[in-house]
């Protein structure tokens, strides 16, 4: 039950609680999130060439993002543990930033959404990129972490930039 503000994780007295999803129908739910890591052009070239001292930055960031999505309920206090059916993390170079764009997808057939799993995957992938390249560029900037879209569930579909309910 939501409080007067419409927030489902806050009770009438303001206390935080985990939402009871027991009566909800299990449906397929998908979420896509994104983020960016802006860096010096030389840092981007180093990463793309595979010459970072710590190893394969892009491959490691993909794996870190996938692992993070699977552990979201351990990191975000009121999230439910989910049996994810798919998690993917795609990382593309963007010379205009310059830097890397991270896009994470999470999918589940369940009673609650996967927005937090997608957001966590994108965030941790960006953090991993920073960690692996910070020796050459401590000025990198992580930004633009946001939900791009979500489908399924009682609240319906959402796409960033479209009118919200």
Tokens of 77: 């206090």
Q: Which residues does the annotation mark as catalytic?
A: 131
Alpha-carbon span 13 to 11, nearest angstrom: 5
3-state secondary structure 32-62: EEEEEEECCHHHHHHHHHCCCCCCCHHHHHH
* Sign of the four-CA dihedral 162, 107, 119, 16: positive
Cβ–Cβ < 8 Å for 140, 43: yes
């Amino acid at each position: 039950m939501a409080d007067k503000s419409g927030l489902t994780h806050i009770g009438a007295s303001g206390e935080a609680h985990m939402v009871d999803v027991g009566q909800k129908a299990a449906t397929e739910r998908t979420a896509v999130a994104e983020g960016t890591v802006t860096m010096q052009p030389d840092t981007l070239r180093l990463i793309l060439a595979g010459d970072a001292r710590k190893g394969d930055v892009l491959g490691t960031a993909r794996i870190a993002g996938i692992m993070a999505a699977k552990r979201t309920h351990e990191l975000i206090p009121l999230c439910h543990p989910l049996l994810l059916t798919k998690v993917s993390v795609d990382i593309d170079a963007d010379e205009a930033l310059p830097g890397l764009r991270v896009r994470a997808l999470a999918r589940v057939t369940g009673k609650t959404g996967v927005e937090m799993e997608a957001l966590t995957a994108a965030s941790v992938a960006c953090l991993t990129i920073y960690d692996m390249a910070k020796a050459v560029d401590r000025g990198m900037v992580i930004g633009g972490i946001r939900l791009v879209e979500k489908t399924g569930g009682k609240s319906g579909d959402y796409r960033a930039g479209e009118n919200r309910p």
